Amino acid sequence: MRRRVRVDASNRRTIILWVAVFIVGLLAFTTVKGKYDLKISENVVNTILSPFQSAITSISNVTKKIGVISWEMVTVYEQNKMLRSEVEQLRQRDVNVNEIMAENTRLTNILNYKNAVKQFDTAVAKIISYDSSNLTNSITINLGAKDGMQKNMPVITPQGLVGTIVAVYEHSAKVQLILDPRSAVGAIIQRPESRVIGIMQGSVGVQTLAKMLNIPRDADVVVGDNVLTSGYGGLYPKGIVIGEVVEVTNEAGGLLKYATVKTAVDFYRIEEVLVIVNSRETAPAPLNAVIPPSANKGVAK
């Protein structure tokens, strides 16, 4: 079998060699004919060489077409690449424009509120981090000691109360949210027929609700009541919106009940806040009825 392959290869080389010799001979013969004006018919030569010329011409044309197509493909690829880049740039520009418009809307709202609450001197701050767990709920803002921030300064939005500053650094500050279980905010029911007071605290394991504690069982508190800061204790100014009562529950074996409050602020969507650096509100006189948060320890839930 191997011998047969060698013979076939040898035959092909012999045939190719003879064809080459034949072509060279024809070319030489044509040259001699032109030089010495031999009387040989050009038609015979053309007839013999025509298939080879046609093949060469066809190959040349195909090569040219392949070259043109390849160039066009490269050109189209580069154009598509450029167009894709332009589309990405336009898409990013659209995202940037939408972000700018959203930020402009938020800042307009917060600045309008800043101008409306003339009883407060406030500073606009951006939230730069959010720490949420079962044990703590806090945010970090981009204002610090160099901006005049101090501990116990209240933090609000146009929607309502956010929390208070609990730690101050040079360029930032940590804000404890009212959702934090360790927080304590003096609260009052807004409804004129009620005006029941209590203490707002965050709920362990619940990141969207707070509780208004230390409410007498016979107190007039119903679902739908709005809850505001009472101003008692002097930490938070009076009248800031906290949220809305969504449930009232009697504590087992006691004389008290508590109200579950949905906060007015959506803490998962805020991006800017206002820090109250000075308040011209006069704090109300303290009431003996306000029970400190420590008195609530051991109460059944």
Q: Which stretches within the chain are classed as H helix?
A: 2-36, 42-116
**pLDDT at res. 233:** 81
pLDDT at 43: 56
Q: How high is the pLDDT of residue 268?
A: 84
CA 208 to CA 31: how far, in whole Å?
101
CA atoms of 50 and 44, how far apart (whole Å):
10
Q: Report how far apart the first and last C-alpha atoms of the chain are (Å, whole number).
A: 95
Amino acid occupying residue 300: A
SS3 296: helix
Q: What pLDDT, on a 0 to 100 scale, did the predictor assign at position 151?
A: 96
Per-residue pLDDT of the chain (301 residues; tens, 9 = 90+): 544 545 455 666 676 666 665 665 655 555 555 544 444 455 555 565 566 566 666 666 666 667 667 777 778 777 887 888 888 887 877 777 777 887 788 888 888 888 888 889 999 999 999 887 755 689 999 999 999 999 999 999 999 999 999 999 999 999 999 999 889 999 999 999 999 999 999 876 666 789 999 999 999 999 999 999 999 888 899 999 999 999 999 988 888 999 999 999 998 889 999 999 998 876 565 544 444 443 343 333 3
Return the closest-CA partner of residue 124 out of 272, 295, 25. 272
